[in-house]
Amino acid sequence: MLMQDYYFQFRAMDTLIEIAGTGKIDLFQWEQEIENWFEQFENICSRFRPTSELSLLNNQPNETVIQINPTLYEILKTASHYSTLTDFYFNPFLGKAIKAYGYKETFNEIKDKSDLVIAPYQYECYMDEPIVFLPVINGVIKKIDSEIDLGGIAKGWSVDKVASIVKEFGLENGIVNAGGDIFVWGEEERTIGVQHPSPEHGDKDIIQFKMRNGGIATSNTLYRSWNASGKRVHHILDGREGSPSNSDIVQATVFSSNTAEADVLAKILCMHNFKEAIPWLMKHFPHTGCILVKNEGQVAISQSVKNYVSRMVM
């Protein structure tokens, strides 16, 4: 079979999913399978679905052995790893906190509401084994009275997973893009743009770059924000405080070897101030790179971006 171009798009996880590349196999027969995979993934990991595996886990009592879906176990294990690795800047145990700020439904359902109220919420950051993992049975024991929210890592993890699936199908020189969480692979350079941080200019790129391999994720405090109790709040919660981060960075794009890690770190950089963000990243994750946008419009690019990008155009 000759090499052929492939492109497929559909909606899942409240965003547009795009898969493209070249291959010597008829990949179009797998489109429905990929859509079904994402549907199953949401049934496992979405906090917006009351019957999802994650919602069922959140409703289970503490101090009991709970056997969970293997996919949920793997993501939760990864999330717990990054929470420890980042001193709980990234914190998957913020389900109650994000709900307290009005984010109880999907963003498309709340973004235009004007009557949301910030609920009283007492947050405590538990940094000593909030959950125990039992690998033999894919089981866990919850140790704290909090809800798990995997929104900060699940999308990136799903991009990495689907990329591995379609590569096994035979897709070469490929890209998977889930609303800005991206993984690319192969020998063909791809041009990827970083959108302007302001929602009014979201159709424009502030920078474009070319790359072949790696994961990219962008976090933004302006777009996914809403009005609650008379003020503007956003979805990036500082894991140590349980409240929306207060930073002069409005957008962070991170490059890494995998999209899940890039997703986590992009959110963490939005918790730091503009001067300290790159030094923090280079100290803790020197193999990664980043592009930062300050609230006044300045752009900073780490030297380590060159590990992933061959050319960049401002």
Q: pLDDT tens digits, residue range 174-217?
A: 999 999 999 999 998 999 999 888 877 767 898 999 999 999 99
Which structure tokens are listed for 168? 């096994």
Residue 91's domain spans which residues?
A: 60-142
State mean pLDDT over 302-311: 93
| Single-letter code of the amino acid located at 270 | C
The confidence score (pLDDT) of residue 233 equals: 92
* Each residue's pLDDT tens digit, 43-75: 999 999 999 999 999 999 999 999 999 999 999
The pLDDT of residue 127 is 66
pLDDT at residue 303 in the model:
95
- The amino acid present at 71, given as its one-letter code, is T
- Note the pLDDT tens digit of each residue in 208-250: 999 999 999 999 999 888 889 888 999 999 999 999 999 999 9
The predicted structure's pLDDT at residue 27: 66
The answer to whether position 270 is within a domain reads no
- The end-to-end CA distance of the chain, in Å, is 40
Instruction: Give the total number of structural domains in the chain.
Output: 1
- Within a domain: residue 118? yes
Task: Please tell me the pTM assigned to this model.
Answer: 0.94
* Reported confidence tier of residue 1, pLDDT bands at 50, 70, 90: low
Q: Determine, yes or no, domain membership for 99.
A: yes
Rounded-to-integer distance, Cα 144 and Cα 83, Å: 15
Residue 199 lies in a domain: no
Instruction: Take residue 213 and report the two structure tokens written for it.
Output: 């391999």
Q: How confident is the model at residue 255 (pLDDT cuts 50, 70, 90)?
A: very high
Provide the token pair at 302: 């780490």
- Could you tell me which residues are beta bridge partners of residue 255? 216, 289
Q: Which residues pair with 236 in a beta bridge?
A: none
Higher pLDDT, residue 152 or 279: 279
In a domain, residue 275? The reply is no
Question: What are the backbone angles phi and psi of residue 162, rounded to the nearest 5°?
Answer: -65, -35
pLDDT of residue 169: 87
Q: Is residue 221 part of a domain?
A: no
Q: Are strands 4-12 and 15-23 parallel, antiparallel or unpaired?
A: antiparallel
CATH of the domain at 71: 1.10.3980
Mean pLDDT for 98-107 is 91
* 6: in domain: no
Q: Is residue 245 part of a domain?
A: no
Residues 6+ apart with CB under 8 A from 135: none
Instruction: Give the count of beta carbons closer than 10 Å to the beta carbon of residue 84.
Output: 12
